[in-house]
Amino acid sequence: MSKDERWQSSLTSIAPDKILVRGYCLDEMMGRLTFAEAVYLLLMGELPTPSIGRMFDAILVSSIDHGVMPPSTLAARNVATSGAPLKDAVAAGILGFGPRHGGDIESCMKFLDGGLTLVRGGKSVQQTAEALVDECARNSEVPPGFGHRIHARDPRAARLFQMALELEIEGEHVRLIRAVEGVLARKSEQFGRQLPVNVDGAIAAVASDLGFAYDFGNALFLISRLPGLIAHAHEERVRQTPMRQIDPKDHSYDGPRERRLPERRK
Amino acid sequence: MSKDERWQSSLTSIAPDKILVRGYCLDEMMGRLTFAEAVYLLLMGELPTPSIGRMFDAILVSSIDHGVMPPSTLAARNVATSGAPLKDAVAAGILGFGPRHGGDIESCMKFLDGGLTLVRGGKSVQQTAEALVDECARNSEVPPGFGHRIHARDPRAARLFQMALELEIEGEHVRLIRAVEGVLARKSEQFGRQLPVNVDGAIAAVASDLGFAYDFGNALFLISRLPGLIAHAHEERVRQTPMRQIDPKDHSYDGPRERRLPERRK
Amino acid sequence: MSKDERWQSSLTSIAPDKILVRGYCLDEMMGRLTFAEAVYLLLMGELPTPSIGRMFDAILVSSIDHGVMPPSTLAARNVATSGAPLKDAVAAGILGFGPRHGGDIESCMKFLDGGLTLVRGGKSVQQTAEALVDECARNSEVPPGFGHRIHARDPRAARLFQMALELEIEGEHVRLIRAVEGVLARKSEQFGRQLPVNVDGAIAAVASDLGFAYDFGNALFLISRLPGLIAHAHEERVRQTPMRQIDPKDHSYDGPRERRLPERRK
Amino acid sequence: MSKDERWQSSLTSIAPDKILVRGYCLDEMMGRLTFAEAVYLLLMGELPTPSIGRMFDAILVSSIDHGVMPPSTLAARNVATSGAPLKDAVAAGILGFGPRHGGDIESCMKFLDGGLTLVRGGKSVQQTAEALVDECARNSEVPPGFGHRIHARDPRAARLFQMALELEIEGEHVRLIRAVEGVLARKSEQFGRQLPVNVDGAIAAVASDLGFAYDFGNALFLISRLPGLIAHAHEERVRQTPMRQIDPKDHSYDGPRERRLPERRK
């Protein structure tokens, strides 16, 4: 078979004692790149700048866990209580990232790109935001990336926008989503409730400004939340009795009280 | 229902506008902790020291991808070629981390702890290594964490050991596995082939020295490889024709040639 | 909590020593209903007539296996070769039932219902079939439920249609799909190849005539193929070496030669 | 590549317009074999006798559903509530068949075979049952296949044993498990509770008498319960609001009241 007939992959080349990820020696990456930087390299093909690397670390930290109530976490715990191996619980949790849970990132990326087409056509960002919100209101749809069952002001979204500004990474997607957020704050009565931008919306906007493909929108959430699924599956295995009935409402938190990050971390 | 009857979780507390992971504000962690440090905090309950954080980043980078040939990657690609969503391909890939693929980390952690029991009983590390290897030879078993289909000297293992030494994290598990490695090099004829320590063995030893539970041994591999599964599933979706027959042998690499990390990264 | 606030399920009631499936005692169903009849009862809520029961058994038999080449089967085998438990291999196989593999049943059910809307509007079945084919040709789309990589005349589809006719179950969906099949046979040059109705199309038409919901279209394929996934995962575990590279093309069949069903079965 | 170097499969041969399952034409099987008979053929390699076919149908019917409370069902419902496709919910449910849920069948098959070794050594079935129970009592272990959270007399187990007797399929595994059941009834105080044989134990004994491999023990449960997972995932999708918190305890049954199978079925 000639080389031309072979199928191709551009990710990682494997030879005896030599592993190249996107052309870089994997063992040289170790200790020199953070995991987040290595993930960025693998997905995007090139190294991030230091600012983008720091932004990307923050994106991955932002969704690392959200307690026991998300359906993905409950799916993982229900598999764990059956005595199944940890990886089975984790795989079931990943399957629980349906369109209504994590899937909003991709929808929001497309929503923003739809808006930017209007901007390219001559509308201002503000006019575009008004148009997007009005269309959602007409269709009685919540714009993707907005609203949260628990948070009135999602602290993760606020922090991502703050970092994007400080690191000078903010681009047209972030500017548009913030404009939409402003319009929604004024027009909340049309939707019957407050619709603050949520962490999915913030990730969607920042990831779009960084140039990520739609497919990778939800993938970022998946990478971020995996440790949470692992931690919950493990806790289920070691702290709870097997084959129990897991009620998502009757639990409480018994971990450390609120504490401050040490200064050197700030 | 009184609070006492509720089931407990110590991972993450959720209140309106406030998410505490192990007691720390999630939005304050963003930008201050790398993702790897946040993962360590979530799994272990406390922040890593800077040295441990750097070691942990390196552990997660070490297994980020290994080309198209691992069965987990092929499972993910076969699901992707059916047109299934990316997360389905990823979940199938995770299910492919069977005992013979990724599962070696936990086995090696137990193998080393078995050896350290002998050390506690008075044997030297060297005597213990000899005893462990002899027992494997008697049972015609390859010690977990040793041997590789492709690499004669696994560059990832070497780099992990070098970093553990430089960062002064090396402990008794690393010292024991290196002693076992030395014994195996001398006694390779008993096994009919060279059995260098592999990346699973190196992760097992370092993670054990850091105090990780057995459950988390394979979980570290899972976190590390997830981006690889994502990258392959995405590449399958965007570069290949759907419903193709994926032959693991007739592919070639068409990504960037070998290149050097920029100086500032070193 | 009052009964009214509880969430409801109408499938199975469980009390000590008494299990009622859709109102029937499960232990009385055993030995009196075939598994296929019990599946029909569980999904549809009522017992099938004997004719429908026989048709439904045939539907479930029709897709029980299709050799080693489907991507779902390869996903299951790749998971099995890693040493993972059988159920993990099976779950990965199910994830490989993507839109292009098994998913065609639901698409075809919707395609036929779209056509029947035209019939309700006054078009004849023949005119409707012409219209459906012409629209597909204009959009350069293969109609769902038609075409096969290997079979020029899918023997499973032919048998399902024959049985539907003999059992007097044939309805408007089957009549429409057969009309589409006829039109496609005349207009194959517009699609550049023959597009015979396949087993997915036949299941879609018969299941629609039986009144199954869209969701259940693909579910029937899932139930039917599960034993195939199990048989391949098991064969991989017991006949092959672990961690092998599974080439979908270089295999051959070494089972029994063609043989006839004994007379009493006919 | 010569034929000898190819890897082999003995399950299904695929040629244009011809599909042979274990040597039989798939389209001839349709309408002539029940699905259960076809499953038996695929897994075991030969057609069942009519009696075995009927027994096998009953085995598959026995575990078709057990309400909303099993962890596998809750895992499936939690994935479904996220908006994920039905097959994802089903795959998550399958992952929930851990060692403590469905996994008992394989354990019980091995437990009985361990006992039959004693019988081969000269012990009577009654002496063997006493020895097996005493060993479990000494180790404070519940024998696999015994005990149920809800049922004091599992109606499915009783029916399987009755059918095995009537169909003259009962063999040494069934005789041994019934002897163990008798011993346990007398010695329940040693275990602190009644330990009736459950449906897993009955399937294990009958499947062992039929000659099924251990791997297939749990596979039979998987095939049997798949329709239940599908029915619950579908019901979750069509009857419940998305992203709800699923409490396994606060539900009630609103399906048909108890009704009798029509006479012709008996």
pLDDT band at D263 (very low <50, low <70, confident <90, very high): confident
Q: Which tokens is B229 given?
A: 């599964």
The interface predicted TM-score (ipTM) is: 0.96
What digits encode the pLDDT tens for the residues C92-110?
999 999 888 877 899 999 9
pLDDT, average across residues A176-181: 98
Of A16, A86, A250, the CB nearest to B151: A16
> What pLDDT score was predicted for residue D63?
97
What digits encode the pLDDT tens for the residues C218-250?
999 999 999 999 999 999 999 999 999 999 988
State the residue for tokens 């038999």.
C61
Chain D environment of B95 (Cβ under 8 Å): 95
> What pLDDT score was predicted for residue B102?
78
Q: How far is D229 from chain C (nearest CA, A)?
A: 10
Query: Most A CBs within 10 Å: which of D69, D82, D251, as the mutation test of the A interface?
Result: D82
What digits encode the pLDDT tens for the residues D44-70?
999 999 999 999 999 999 999 999 999
**Which positions ≥6 away from B167 have C-beta within 8 Å?**
B51, B52, B54, B55
pLDDT, average across residues D73-80: 96
Residue B103 DSSP SS3: coil
Asked if the Cβ–Cβ distance from C92 to B96 is below 8 Å, we say yes
Q: How far is B104 from chain D (nearest CA, A)?
A: 21
Residue A95: closest C-alpha in chain D: D88
Compute the distance between CA of residue C36 and CA of residue D37 in angstroms, rounded to an integer.
11
What digits encode the pLDDT tens for the residues B105-135?
999 999 999 999 999 999 999 999 999 999 9
Is A91's Cβ below 8 Å from some Cβ in C? yes
Q: Which chains, if any, share at least 3 CB pairs under 8 A with chain C?
A: A, B, D
Of D79, D149, D243, the CB nearest to A95: D79
pLDDT, average across residues C260-266: 75
> What pLDDT score was predicted for residue A85?
92
If phi > 0 it is left, if psi is from -120 to 50 it is alpha, else beta; for residue D67 that is left
> Where does residue D100 rank: exposed (0-12), middle (13-18), buried (19+ CB within 10 A)?
middle
Is B21's Cβ below 8 Å from some Cβ in C? no
pLDDT band at B264 (very low <50, low <70, confident <90, very high): low
pLDDT, average across residues D135-156: 94
Residue A62 and residue A221 in contact, taking contact as beta carbons nearer than 8 Å:
no
Residue D214: closest C-alpha in chain C: C234
Asked if the Cβ–Cβ distance from D79 to A71 is below 8 Å, we say yes
| Whether the predicted pLDDT of C2 surpasses 70 | no
Strand partners, D12: D21
CB atoms within 10 A of CB B6: 15
Chain C environment of D219 (Cβ under 8 Å): 86, 90, 230, 234
> What pLDDT score was predicted for residue C1?
42
Of all residues in chain D, what percent carry a pLDDT higher than 90? 89
Chain C environment of A89 (Cβ under 8 Å): none
Residue D219 and residue C85 in contact, taking contact as beta carbons nearer than 8 Å:
no
Residue C193 and residue C147 in contact, taking contact as beta carbons nearer than 8 Å:
yes
Is B86's Cβ below 8 Å from some Cβ in D? no
Chain A environment of B62 (Cβ under 8 Å): 26, 30
Best CA proximity match to D217, nearest among D106, D57, D62, D114: D106
Q: Which tokens is C215 given?
A: 């969701």
Chain A environment of B250 (Cβ under 8 Å): 1, 5-7
Task: Sheet with B24-25: list strands edge to edge.
Answer: B12-15, B18-21, B24-25
pLDDT band at B100 (very low <50, low <70, confident <90, very high): confident
| Whether the predicted pLDDT of C112 surpasses 90 | yes
pLDDT, average across residues D131-153: 94
pLDDT band at A1 (very low <50, low <70, confident <90, very high): very low
Is B88's Cβ below 8 Å from some Cβ in D? yes
What letter does residue A243 receive in the DSSP assignment?
T
Is B240's Cβ below 8 Å from some Cβ in A? yes
Chain C environment of A91 (Cβ under 8 Å): 88, 91
CA atoms within 13 A on the CB side of A39: 32
Chain C environment of B69 (Cβ under 8 Å): 245
Of B92, B149, B242, the CB nearest to C92: B92
What digits encode the pLDDT tens for the residues B33-87?
999 999 999 999 999 999 999 999 999 999 999 999 999 999 999 999 999 999 9
> What pLDDT score was predicted for residue C4?
57
Residue D82: closest C-alpha in chain A: A98
Query: How many beta-carbon pairs under 8 angstroms link A with C?
Result: 8
Torsion of the alpha carbons at A135, A141, A145 and A147, rounded to the nearest 10: 120
Is B39's Cβ below 8 Å from some Cβ in A? yes
Is A251's Cβ below 8 Å from some Cβ in B? yes
Q: How far is A135 from chain D (nearest CA, A)?
A: 23
| Whether the predicted pLDDT of D4 surpasses 70 | no
Asked if the Cβ–Cβ distance from C96 to B82 is below 8 Å, we say yes
| Whether the predicted pLDDT of C3 surpasses 60 | no
| Whether the predicted pLDDT of A4 surpasses 60 | no
> What pLDDT score was predicted for residue C101?
82
Per-window interface: D 148-167 vs C, CB < 8 A: 150-156, 158-160, 163
What digits encode the pLDDT tens for the residues A95-114?
999 888 877 899 999 999 99
Q: How far is C82 from chain A (nearest CA, A)?
A: 13
What digits encode the pLDDT tens for the residues B197-236?
999 999 999 999 999 999 899 999 999 999 999 999 999 9
What digits encode the pLDDT tens for the residues B142-194?
999 999 989 999 999 999 999 999 999 999 999 999 999 999 999 988 999 99
Of all residues in chain C, what percent carry a pLDDT higher than 90? 89
> Where does residue B51 rank: exposed (0-12), middle (13-18), buried (19+ CB within 10 A)?
middle
Q: How far is B155 from chain A (nearest CA, A)?
A: 6
Per-window interface: B 60-79 vs A, CB < 8 A: 60-62, 64-69
| Whether the predicted pLDDT of D15 surpasses 70 | yes
Residue C67: closest C-alpha in chain D: D12
Q: What share of chain B is helix, strand, coil (3-state, %, to 5)?
A: 60, 10, 35
What digits encode the pLDDT tens for the residues A200-257?
999 999 999 999 999 899 999 999 999 999 999 999 999 999 999 999 988 999 999 9
pLDDT band at C5 (very low <50, low <70, confident <90, very high): confident
DSSP string of A4-57?
A: GGSEEE-SEEEETTEEEETTEEHHHHBTTB-HHHHHHHHHHSSPPPHHHHHHHH
Judged by average pLDDT, the poorest of C33-37, C86-90, D179-183, D192-196 is D192-196
